[in-house]
Structure 1
Amino acid sequence: MDVDPRQYEHVAVNDKDIQNIVMSYLVHNCFKETMESFIACTGMKQPSDYPEDMEKRKRIFQFALEGNALKAIELTEQLATNLLEKNKDLHFDLLSLHFVELVLSKKCTEALEFARTKLTPFGGEPKFVDKLEDFLALLAYDEPETSPMFYLLSSDYRQRVAESLNRAILGWASAIFFEGLSEELKREEFERLSGIQLLKLLKMLCHGGIAAILLEGSDNIIIACISVKVLTLAVWVHPECTFTV
């Protein structure tokens, strides 16, 4: 069923809404320096859920993305105790990254031993059996890149695991943050982070016929373009800051 954009006519979208969306993007992607410049430029307050461990989270993400899963696991356990113990799917995926690196390095004996000691214990749960079989099947090929499981060796797979880890750490940090709030503040924060903001974002996406939100980032430049009837253009480029609404 098509969404009728007229039902969102009453939802106001202003500078603060745009700034909050950009801020969420910066925090999620660990663009610390850009975020600090953005705060100074716009006059926004540092968010109460600002993660002081952003640099650590960024390092963890990079290690996972590069395939250095054991280092990513080590730092994750230091930062977010019991996170991987409670999230077995993520733990398995990280361990699988190390297994893949061993396979790519032609260290088949080491890979087999690693699978035996670290991966096969997960086989006690049915949901991991198929995954285990796929990874172990890589050892049967002289050129695993040509196997039906070649996607497990790809940068896309590492990217997916790294992003899952980043989201899990953010979720852990949010849970710690919410534990320290009163019930009233919890409701306010939940409203800020969920329903109201999502409704406003939905209006941005579907109202006016041009559904486009573009967020491209490095730690030096963020461009946010939102094209809707009520918003012409919102652009912020580091270090000069310009909002036109």
Structure 2
Amino acid sequence: MNAAPSQVVLAMQGVSVTRGAKRILGPIDFRIQSGERWVILGPNGAGKSTLLNILATRIFPTSGTVSILDKQMGKVDLSELRTRIGICASLLAEDIPDDEFVRDVVLTAAYAVIGRWNEVYDLWDESRAVALLTTFGVREFADRRYYTLSDGEKKRVQIARALMADPELLLLDEPTAGLDLGGREDLLRRFSEFSLDPLAPSSIIVTHHIEEIPAGTTHALIIKDGVIAISGPIAEVITSEHMSAVFGISIDVTTDGSRFFARSR
């Protein structure tokens, strides 16, 4: 894990995305320092997925500049930059072969490939893959086929894969979507414990629900109609006033320790 204290991990300035005559995102200014753990929230269609795709270097903005890990998009080999970014997203997960062994699902991320072929992995790679599976509670499934796992178990394997290459930035797109209550809480607990490591990478989680924000998250960004409604330290952003304004209904936000909960009034 390589993120250094006070390093600028991400800087977006004047970023917009236009499709045809319609602007679907921006303009956005956004900045992340190493050690920060962000959550991005907003209504359906707000622009969260478009923003995440830019951060994952999967699409370019129509205008503005994006610098990730001191590299400006458009002026760097993206294949090299992508090895420094860990991603857990449903579109990528769909490409994982169902008959792949769980251990290999994680291990192949060391070569940034999906599906094991003829790559040669050393003992360090093998040990790291097992350690990550252990961290997220799925070590005992290492020799099982991926398709035999439950949705919750697959999500844990996907996060372990995202961390295999020792990224400096971790992007998680709705990591607890579709999980039952037990699976959600177990995954959030494990991710929170992992994040306590001072060398853990900076992270950005996209979610629809404040109940799915893991403890230890430091900052929040709320996006609405393609622009940032508010961003900053999480306790200042996730409030009844802001949630009500963004989602258009009266919402009461409560906290229990480092977790947030919402209900309509």
Same fold (TM over 0.5): no
Q: Place the TM-score, normalised by the shorter chain, in its bin.
A: 0.3 to 0.5
Greater radius of gyration (CA) = 1
The structure with the greater share of residues assigned to helix is 1
Under a length normalisation based on structure 1, what TM-score does the superposition of the two structures give? 0.35
Under a length normalisation based on structure 2, what TM-score does the superposition of the two structures give? 0.33
The structure with the greater share of residues assigned to strand is 2
